[in-house]
Amino acid sequence: LSLVTRPGQRAPVRVGFYDIERTLGKGNFAVVKLAKHRITKSEVAIKIIDKTQLDAANLEKIYREVEIMKLLDHPHIIKLYQVMETKNMLYLVTEYAKNGEIFGEWLFLLLHASLYLSGHIFLAEM
């Protein structure tokens, strides 16, 4: 995973094959960026998570979120394309929802998908 930074900037302007274009949303330990693939020019959203800001329990929740996202395939749920990880950072490359604010929509859909799957897993274990 190669990260390129501009002088005086903290955030990378490139993550893997993606050029970072702008910030779409921010949270306590993550930021969502609009990015473009260097070769295909397709737009994606990249959720950049600072693992150093998370305790072990919250980091485990993030990894569980990733595992759930890998299972989901529905036209109304944001698709997870790729996961990249360094010692301190986690990068979730997802579909970019052009017709809405990705951060809010992404969290909303992910929450509902997680609750749906959690309910089915709970029922299956009974």
pLDDT digits (tens, 9 = 90+) for 43-98: 999 999 999 999 999 999 999 989 999 998 888 788 999 999 999 999 999 999 87
Q: Per the confidence metrics, is the pTM higher than 0.95?
A: no
Question: pLDDT confidence of 126, banded at 50, 70, 90?
Answer: very low
For residues 102 and 93, the model is more confident at: 93
Q: What is the pLDDT of residue 75?
A: 82
Three-state secondary structure of the chain:
CCEECCCCCCCCCEECCEEEEEEEEECCCEEEEEEEECCCCCEEEEEEEEHHHCCHHHHHHHHHHHHHHHHCCCCCCCCEEEEEECCCEEEEEEECCCCCCHHHHHHHHHHHHHHHHHHHHHHHHC
Q: CATH for 3-125, among 3.30.200.20, 3.40.50.300, 1.20.1250.20, 3.40.50.720?
A: 3.30.200.20
Per domain, the residue ranges of the chain are 3-125
Residue-wise pLDDT for 110-125, tens only, equals 766 776 676 655 444 4
